[in-house]
């Protein structure tokens, strides 16, 4: 009889590949929520420099289980690290993803 493959093994292998990719591009210093916010914002833009609102980011499926306070803390951290920038001079919560800075040394927390 051929043994049935453990169902957790492929999940573990995918998670390890993802962790390695995150290390390779310099995202390992971000928390899981910060990475999810950055990736959600990036997925909502079509070209570099596109503006995305915090409401659109917040409603992304990656961030559904995240508390609002945690979400805004992650936004502040990403802005502080330069990975998100406030869009224009408006007071609206709109951001530009600085994917060109991914992999650069992030400021100390």
Task: Supply the pLDDT for residue 48.
Answer: 86
Report which of 43, 36, 106 is spatially closest to residue 73, judged by C-alpha positions.
Answer: 36
Q: Does residue 3 lie in a domain region?
A: no
Task: Supply the pLDDT for residue 4.
Answer: 56
pTM, full prediction: 0.82
Task: Supply the pLDDT for residue 75.
Answer: 96
Q: Does residue 1 lie in a domain region?
A: no
Tokens of 15: 């998670």
Rounded Cα gap, residues 105 and 101, in angstroms: 9
Task: Supply the pLDDT for residue 88.
Answer: 79
Q: Does residue 28 lie in a domain region?
A: yes
Task: Supply the pLDDT for residue 108.
Answer: 54
Q: Does residue 2 lie in a domain region?
A: no
What CATH number does residue 65 fall under? 1.10.10.10
The contacts of residue 71 (CB under 8 Å, 6+ apart) are 33, 37, 57, 58, 63
Rounded Cα gap, residues 89 and 14, in angstroms: 41
Q: Does residue 109 lie in a domain region?
A: no
Q: Does residue 74 lie in a domain region?
A: yes
Q: Does residue 108 lie in a domain region?
A: no
Q: How many domains does the chain have?
A: 1
Domain extent, residue 94, equals 8-101
- The structure tokens 């390779």 sit at 24
Report which of 52, 58, 57 is spatially closest to residue 94, judged by C-alpha positions.
Answer: 52
pLDDT, one tens digit for every residue, the chain (109 residues): 555 568 888 999 999 999 999 999 889 899 999 999 999 999 999 988 899 999 999 999 999 999 999 999 999 999 999 999 998 776 668 999 998 777 665 555 4
Task: Supply the pLDDT for residue 26.
Answer: 85
Q: Does residue 107 lie in a domain region?
A: no
Task: Supply the pLDDT for residue 100.
Answer: 78
Tokens of 72: 């805004």
């Amino acid at each position: 009889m051929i043994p049935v493959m453990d169902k957790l093994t492929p999940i573990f292998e995918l998670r390890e590949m993802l962790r390695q990719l995150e290390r390779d591009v310099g995202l390992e210093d971000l928390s899981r929520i910060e990475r999810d916010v950055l990736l959600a914002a990036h997925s909502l833009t079509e070209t570099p420099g596109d503006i995305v609102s915090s409401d659109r980011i917040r409603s992304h499926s990656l961030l559904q289980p995240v508390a609002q306070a945690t979400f805004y803390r992650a936004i502040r951290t990403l802005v502080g690290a330069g990975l998100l920038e406030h869009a224009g001079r408006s007071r609206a919560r709109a951001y530009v993803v600085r994917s060109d800075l991914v992999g650069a040394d992030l400021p100390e927390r």
